[in-house]
Structure 1
């Protein structure tokens, strides 16, 4: 349910392909994504996206009840993405919910379709968020807005997410991957050590 495309120029595209279940994530899917992100140390650009109209609804409900909601696999995935030396782009083809937000927060850039919604109802469900998610969110949107999402349980629409800084650009669905590729082009053409150096200087 995770599709991986590797191109000769160093571009990797990982696609969540479970649209019939709103791309909800099982432990096996999360582990595969974490392995891909770990292996992508050799990639120049990693794009994360999904099939259908939802990027990911978060944890598979049955597995969440069985313990997935508090598994460390979420943190392993986001940590591996955050450590990538190359450029990471979340191409959000639709709504992003729950723990799935962690992988997008860990990316360098977030593109979103205009119809997406963003929410992280972890407190309502009786869990703490994954350890690094609140800090990464607060770095993007500020502490108050992070609390609005995490403690206020608010659903943020795409245009508001853009104003907050939660996403970097809104892109029509038909052009989402093409735009991600355009943004990736300079990094793919650069020497890896230069791209890595610039990324380090921006941190």
Structure 2
């Protein structure tokens, strides 16, 4: 359900492939994703995307009822994404919801298709968000807008997400991977230590 393609250029394409379930994440999928990013020291750029019309609906409903919604795996995954030395790009092929938001927030850049929507109904479901999610979101869009999403339960359109700064660019549905590849091109061509150094300087 997690596909990883490693290209000779140093580009890794990581795809959530459970479109029949809106790419909802199971414990095994979270574990696999965390291991991929923890082992991504040699990747010069990573594109994270989904198969189908939804990037991810967050935690698988049945797994969430069994405790996955509060699993430390979410925090482990987002920490691994943030620690990857290469350029990380979330190529959001559709709606991003719930706990899956954390791994997109941890990426360096976020692209989305026009139809994408963004929501994180954690309070309504009776859970706290993972500790790093509000901090990363607030760093991008500010505390008030973060509360608008996490406490006000607001669902953002792609246009609103772009205006807020939650995403960096809106691209046509068929072009999200192409656009991500274009953004990764300079990082792939650069010396890895220079690219990683610039990324560190931006923290």
> What TM-score, normalized by structure 1, do the two folds share?
0.99
CA separation in 2, counterparts of 1:181 and 1:144? 33
Deviations 1:24-61 (A, max 9, x none): 00000011000001111110001100000000000000
The 5-angstrom pairing of residues 39-118 of structure 1 reads: 39-118=39-118
Match of 1:100, SS?
helix
CA separation in 1, counterparts of 2:155 and 2:189? 38
Instruction: State whether structure 2 residue 192 is matched by structure 1 residue 192.
Output: yes
Listed as ranges, the gaps of 5+ residues in structure 2 are none
1:148 is matched with which residue?
148
Number of aligned residues: 203
Structure 1 position 90, deviation (Å):
0.1
CA separation in 2, counterparts of 1:29 and 1:200? 28
1:14 is matched with which residue?
14
Match of 1:42, SS?
coil
CA separation in 2, counterparts of 1:30 and 1:13? 16
> RMSD value over aligned CA atoms?
0.4
CA separation in 1, counterparts of 2:103 and 2:197? 22
1:163 is matched with which residue?
163
Structure 1 position 173, deviation (Å):
1.0
CA separation in 2, counterparts of 1:69 and 1:199? 30
Listed as ranges, the gaps of 5+ residues in structure 1 are none
2:27 is matched with which residue?
27
> What TM-score, normalized by structure 2, do the two folds share?
0.99
CA separation in 1, counterparts of 2:4 and 2:196? 23
Moved over 3 A (4+): none
2:178 is matched with which residue?
178
CA separation in 2, counterparts of 1:19 and 1:116? 15
Structure 1 position 100, deviation (Å):
0.2
CA separation in 2, counterparts of 1:197 and 1:79? 18
